[in-house]
């Protein structure tokens, strides 16, 4: 056998050996990822409820019921409303904070560490804390507003239809703006300073430099941050549950809370499976479109 053939056989053996080593890990990952999805698909075509363990094939009955479920589509609209408001706020505030701390300010590391603390707090704990702060009798927020207004203020933040959305958005933006801040700060730190100096010497203004140099440079990181937060906001549950339980009524019920109530309180298992599958398909579509757009913008 020639030396070239021997080398080719050696490389083929090494490749098979590598695949043999990683095959168990790939099998476990596929089992963990695919089996629940397949089981969810099977359950969604059955009729399992709290009082009936009917595993026979029911066709598209659960999916047809979704089309006429007004509460489901309202919860989806609530989720999209939270996402449409919270995401731009977190992005803008995170970018402003990153611009502020990009310079070497005195005590910069200490301030950055303090600003990041909300991210490490569990969302359910953060929601419970904000619930105490919004308390109409003993909460500090009403007391501070009362001091400013010069009179006692009894604002029902988690009950009043006019105040419940600002209360949830305040808690959500407070907790996750530091996440945007960290990613954008890292992106801004990697911008080529020589380009900024050259543009400044040529007489370019701040906004021209930002939109022509800084924004294109940080856009890949910003796009990933937007995608991550969009997916996270779409499954918003903890803070809303801790503050309002989806109330008043179902005014702040998100799609995750709707699925939780249907699946773990009303035990409509098969219907919840159909809802969960719909959510997975929607999120998968969003991720594919976002990644394709990021690839095209490079």
Task: Give mean pLDDT, residues 182-206.
Answer: 87
Q: Which of 148-152, 201-205, 217-221, 291-295 has the lowest mean pLDDT?
A: 291-295
CB–CB of 251/159 below 8 Å?
no
What's the pLDDT band for 298 if we cut at 50, 70, 90? low
Of 129 and 3, the one with more pLDDT:
129
Instruction: Cis check for the bond before 248: say yes or no (omega within 30 of 0).
Output: yes
Q: How far apart are CA 95 and CA 185, in angstroms?
A: 8
What's the pLDDT band for 260 if we cut at 50, 70, 90? very high
* pLDDT exceeds cutoff 70 at 294: no
Q: Which of 13-22, 125-134, 191-200 has the lowest mean pLDDT?
A: 13-22
* pLDDT exceeds cutoff 80 at 138: yes
CA dist list (Å): 94 to 48, 91, 112, 224, 237: 45, 5, 12, 14, 22
* pLDDT exceeds cutoff 60 at 7: no
Task: Give mean pLDDT, residues 157-167.
Answer: 92
Q: Which of 9-13, 184-188, 247-251, 254-258 has the lowest mean pLDDT?
A: 9-13
Q: How far apart are CA 39 and CA 59, in angstroms?
A: 15
Task: Give mean pLDDT, residues 155-162.
Answer: 90
CB–CB of 116/101 below 8 Å?
no
What's the pLDDT band for 293 if we cut at 50, 70, 90? confident
Of 113 and 262, the one with more pLDDT:
262
CB–CB of 275/66 below 8 Å?
yes
Q: How far apart are CA 14 and CA 24, in angstroms?
A: 17
Q: How far apart are CA 235 and CA 241, in angstroms?
A: 12
Of 79 and 207, the one with more pLDDT:
79
Q: What percent of the chain has pLDDT over 90?
A: 43
Q: Which residue has the tokens 């856009």?
A: 219
* pLDDT exceeds cutoff 60 at 280: yes
Nearest to 169 by CA among 85, 74, 246: 85
Q: What is the pTM of this model?
A: 0.86
Q: Where in the chain is the domain with CATH 1.10.3720.10?
A: 70-263
Q: Which of 52-66, 91-105, 283-297 has the lowest mean pLDDT?
A: 283-297
Task: Give mean pLDDT, residues 112-130.
Answer: 89
Classify domain 70-263 at the CATH class level: mainly alpha
N-term to C-term CA, the chain: 47
Q: Which of 3-12, 33-42, 128-137, 165-174 has the lowest mean pLDDT?
A: 3-12
Of 262 and 138, the one with more pLDDT:
262
């Amino acid at each position: 056998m020639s030396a070239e053939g021997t080398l080719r056989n050696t490389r083929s053996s090494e490749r098979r050996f590598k695949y043999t080593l990683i095959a168990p890990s790939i099998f476990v990952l596929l089992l963990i990822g695919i089996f629940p999805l397949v089981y969810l698909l099977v359950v969604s075509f059955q009729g399992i409820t709290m009082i009936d363990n009917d595993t026979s094939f029911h066709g598209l009955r659960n999916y047809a019921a979704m089309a006429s479920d007004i509460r489901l589509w309202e919860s989806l609209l609530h989720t999209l409303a939270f996402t449409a408001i919270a995401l731009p706020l977190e992005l803008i505030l995170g970018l402003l904070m990153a611009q502020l701390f990009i310079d070497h300010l005195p005590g910069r590391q200490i301030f950055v560490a303090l600003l990041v603390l909300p991210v490490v707090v569990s969302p359910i704990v953060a929601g419970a804390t904000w619930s105490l702060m919004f308390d109409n009798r003993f909460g500090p927020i009403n007391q501070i507003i009362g001091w400013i207004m010069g009179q006692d203020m009894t604002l029902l933040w988690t009950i009043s239809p006019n105040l419940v959305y600002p209360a949830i958005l305040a808690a959500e933006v407070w907790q996750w703006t530091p996440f945007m801040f960290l990613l954008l700060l890292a992106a801004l730190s990697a911008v080529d300073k020589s380009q900024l100096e050259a543009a400044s010497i040529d007489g370019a203004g701040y906004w021209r430099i930002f939109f022509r140099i800084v924004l294109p440079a940080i856009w890949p990181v910003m796009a990933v941050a937007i995608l991550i937060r969009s997916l996270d906001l779409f499954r918003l549950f903890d803070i809303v549950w801790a503050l309002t339980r989806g109330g008043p009524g179902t005014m702040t019920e998100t799609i995750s809370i709707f699925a939780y109530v249907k699946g773990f309180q009303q035990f409509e298992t098969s219907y919840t499976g159909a809802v969960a599958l719909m959510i997975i398909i929607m999120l998968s579509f969003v991720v594919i479109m976002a990644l394709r757009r990021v690839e095209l913008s490079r």
